[in-house]
Structure 1
């Protein structure tokens, strides 16, 4: 199993600085493979999803013969095919690697990556060096996918195959939750890095070896392009176990794993299978995205006399099994790692790896292609980190002496790895969903649907509470806009805005927030705080609409629950804190990434379209939702009323805009062309709606006469979308 499943790490905060939102930058698939067919030329003509917008995957999955599917997967594990023979006669380790690498791209910084949509089928992931030969694993699964069709997605099948692989070799499994709907094109808003070379092309690492990952750009976890985690040979190919340990820790922290989970995952994964490097890597052909038509998507085809299969397979370049029982769950990994001394050697493909000194014959592994042949086991530099690093060594010794603890830790960590990006447990499907609520699932108690009478009564009390439109809108937005569709975390359900750490985020104006929450708690009656916060936004918005002279209803759907501190992993919510929020015109400091790019990234995570983002920014400005009463972009004389004044005044040609001195192009002032007096102040996030042609085209629609009511209705619709983005219980 060619898993770079160590991780590369260092110290420091997993998400530091301003690089978290580099999602819109970096190289595209067209940069990597300029000759690839540009299928997306058809994107303006409709969705790439052949199932259609009305397809209900949850309904299809619930009709699946789940146990028959598992039986077919179990049979596949030992059904070796001559075009890609199974090591040791068992495909289990291969499918574990496939599942691991599907899930392992998840990162906490922006919630992107992971197995949630089956992205491993598409470039660039299907052609990363670290995913070498996993195209064969997916082809092995094709007959099963074809048989069960729409009832199981590729995304679910990847993870379930990994689970069945572990079970078929006697390993522990905590459970499985289905519900990952496929996409049918690469996700274009994921930043994988900006290098122009892959890990195996000699490119310098993304980090200073002496500093570790603390300077690693944005949400990235791997230190080289094309890696899931770390280079198994060591950072940048340097076989230093202590540097590898440092980087492993930071990498796994960036994907929500603590150090014990990290050791359990690495050891559990390497209890199975082998790495492949028994051949000449220079004979490998192009990756799937760059191969010719005749290859039919089969990448890394070898020109070796055997075709580069079986004995002569080359993937990572390392060669050998970690343990002497590579298709059985066992205690052998820690025994072999800790009991033997190791020396640094080279694989036949030239990769650096570690080999036991004076290994006993009974501890050697069978050759993958001939069980009668015994070969030495090996360890990667990432494995040696679990032995050499003092903290990892303590954990390894614990698991070595307490195998039951190791089994439980691995099963839980594997489940977390494969499900971390799925969001709340209510999204899980199938008969093997664990009953236990896990803290990383951000559990929220079930809410109670309030009656119409209760809603009306609480609305009246909020309206008479003395809270302003601005305060109610700010609080509701602060609560709901934490949602991100990437991993379905955040949102208004649970009312975590009243708990650590969200209640103290600067963007939420803690003093104002505390006052509003206290008043809402006082008047909410039978409603949950989560419902009261959203209902407060409804009250504020309805007043703003009435005062502007419109009659537009603002919908409200109750039934949210309130999470407790015990149900909230406070540290894990730190990555949700906005470093900038253009919707509230919040920018505490100059960032490397342009403010308007930050705005687009946040809108993308909220699942907003260009018109939705545009109408929300314009409406929030006139409602007084700016952070700290900041006047930038407040282009209205009717503050607190929902009007289209932002767009009308932004596009007014009597204004002349100029950057404010010493503002680093973040603040602008408008003067009247005729009188020369100051009229408005703006941020980059305001002016971009006039300067960018596409955004201006939408802004012009909302500024046109006759579209005042359209603006209000569109704002209400977009607002309601954000308020209910996390309501999987009512979708």
Structure 2
């Protein structure tokens, strides 16, 4: 890991966009993982159990957002059977790169959309989750934690028109899978069968997503409600290797590391090996790395370093990226299926990356 780590240190003061390609090459050389056949499907009896991901920039500011699709585009029942999901995967992958957006990729915000569409599930009331795609309706789209996700929904909307039989729930969660895989992460098993709600009556109440300003107790309260344990929570927060916070959305500002468009175990290595100090600014309390001041951690992130039960998993994933990939893949697949009752014959896909 030391050689890989040196790459990160070397580029720490280099503009993020200029290092994206070299970082991606280094990551691909470092990370060894198996690739699965592009059209491989697994019988539903082997499907992932229904059942995450730490707050990818939990928001404080939000705008009103609402999709009103024609009734003939509402995916319900068996309409998913008419969709070629291999083609949808390729089309989503084609939407990822855009040099005019953030660090050149919509991948991180697609992951955040998939997570926020799914992470509202409550094991006690059996409400929330990605089925119904209520995140596209006011008031859920207007929840503080969902600020900025209209960007991702708008980016994906042309594919909903191109594939009218795909549900928004399937589209949003599949976009998260595509982003993880195409940005260098592990293969994530995924299956279709979510339907669309036609009104906002099933929108979840605000407060079901993590507050990035809180600590370990709050993190556990949120994720235990969904049915996750400490190991799964620690694996999911590793997705903070991707993307950045925006002061115009969450109030927080900055990327977590030098390669925000490449899926790595950098969140853990940076969290443990950097010295994090309070940022001196007029925004909400957050941390920056003392060495360069370019990278940030949220208060909820630091909890994974200071809490002994979380930390043992962080140390494992910092030392072994393959172990992180394996555990993240399982936990993320579980997240995307929270609260969904799939048809008995729904296939499970393992998509091969395009590269």
Scaled by the length of structure 1, what TM-score is found? 0.38
1:129 alignment counterpart: 144
Instruction: Determine which of 65, 71, 74 is the counterpart of 2:84.
Output: 65
Q: Distance in 2 between matches of 1:431 and 1:108?
A: 26
SS at match of 1:93: helix
Q: Is the 8 A contact 2:236 2:332 kept in 1?
A: yes
Question: 1:103 aligned to 2:118?
Answer: yes
Deviation digits for residues 23-67 of structure 1, max 9, x if unmatched?
xxxxxxxxxx9xx99x9xxxxxxxx993499x8642x32222222
Give the Å deviation of 1:228.
4.0
Q: Distance in 2 between matches of 1:132 and 1:3?
A: 16
1:419 alignment counterpart: 337
1:589 alignment counterpart: none
Give the Å deviation of 1:403.
1.8
Q: Is the 8 A contact 2:119 2:338 kept in 1?
A: no
Q: Distance in 2 between matches of 1:3 and 1:394?
A: 17
Deviation digits for residues 594-630 of structure 1, max 9, x if unmatched?
xxxxxxxxxxxxxxxxxxxxxxxxxxxxxxxxxxxxx
Deviation digits for residues 627-649 of structure 1, max 9, x if unmatched?
xxxxxxxxxxxxxxxxxxxxxxx
Give the Å deviation of 1:136.
1.8
Q: 1:228 to 1:256 in 2, by over 3 A?
A: same
Instruction: Determine which of 191, 204, 208 is the counterpart of 1:177.
Output: 191
Q: Distance in 1 between matches of 2:148 and 2:57?
A: 19
Q: 1:383 to 1:322 in 2, by over 3 A?
A: same
Q: Is the 8 A contact 2:57 2:245 kept in 1?
A: no
1:327 alignment counterpart: 261
Give the Å deviation of 1:76.
0.3
Deviation digits for residues 258-309 of structure 1, max 9, x if unmatched?
0000011011x201000001xxxxxxxxxxxxxxxxxxxxxxxxxxxxxxxx
Q: 1:74 to 1:123 in 2, by over 3 A?
A: same
Q: Distance in 2 between matches of 1:355 and 1:231?
A: 18
Q: Is the 8 A contact 2:289 2:296 kept in 1?
A: yes
SS at match of 1:105: coil
1:75 alignment counterpart: 94
2:317 alignment counterpart: 399
Q: 1:347 to 1:86 in 2, by over 3 A?
A: farther
Q: Is the 8 A contact 2:246 2:253 kept in 1?
A: yes
Give the Å deviation of 1:233.
1.8
Question: 1:4 aligned to 2:23?
Answer: no
Deviation digits for residues 665-722 of structure 1, max 9, x if unmatched?
xxxxxxxxxxxxxxxxxxxxxxxxxxxxxxxxxxxxxxxxxxxxxxxxxxxxxxxxxx
Q: Is the 8 A contact 1:156 1:179 kept in 2?
A: yes
Q: 1:88 to 1:423 in 2, by over 3 A?
A: same
Q: Distance in 2 between matches of 1:417 and 1:346?
A: 35
Deviation digits for residues 403-436 of structure 1, max 9, x if unmatched?
2111111010000000121136726346449xxx
Q: Distance in 2 between matches of 1:340 and 1:100?
A: 27
Q: Distance in 2 between matches of 1:178 and 1:346?
A: 46
1:233 alignment counterpart: 213
Aligned length: 293
CA RMSD after TM alignment? 2.8
1:120 alignment counterpart: 135
Q: 1:143 to 1:56 in 2, by over 3 A?
A: closer
Give the Å deviation of 1:108.
0.6
Question: 1:352 aligned to 2:285?
Answer: yes
- Segments of structure 2 that go 5 or more residues without pairing to the other structure are 1-52, 59-63
Q: Is the 8 A contact 1:95 1:165 kept in 2?
A: yes
Q: Say which one has the larger Rg.
A: 1
Give the Å deviation of 1:250.
2.2
Q: Distance in 2 between matches of 1:178 and 1:317?
A: 35
Q: 1:3 to 1:266 in 2, by over 3 A?
A: closer
Q: Is the 8 A contact 2:216 2:304 kept in 1?
A: yes
Scaled by the length of structure 2, what TM-score is found? 0.76
Q: Distance in 2 between matches of 1:376 and 1:351?
A: 16
1:272 alignment counterpart: 242
Q: Distance in 2 between matches of 1:429 and 1:316?
A: 37
1:263 alignment counterpart: 234
Deviation digits for residues 479-517 of structure 1, max 9, x if unmatched?
xxxxxxxxxxxxxxxxxxxxxxxxxxxxxxxxxxxxxxx
SS at match of 1:89: coil
Q: Distance in 2 between matches of 1:423 and 1:346?
A: 47
SS at match of 2:286: strand
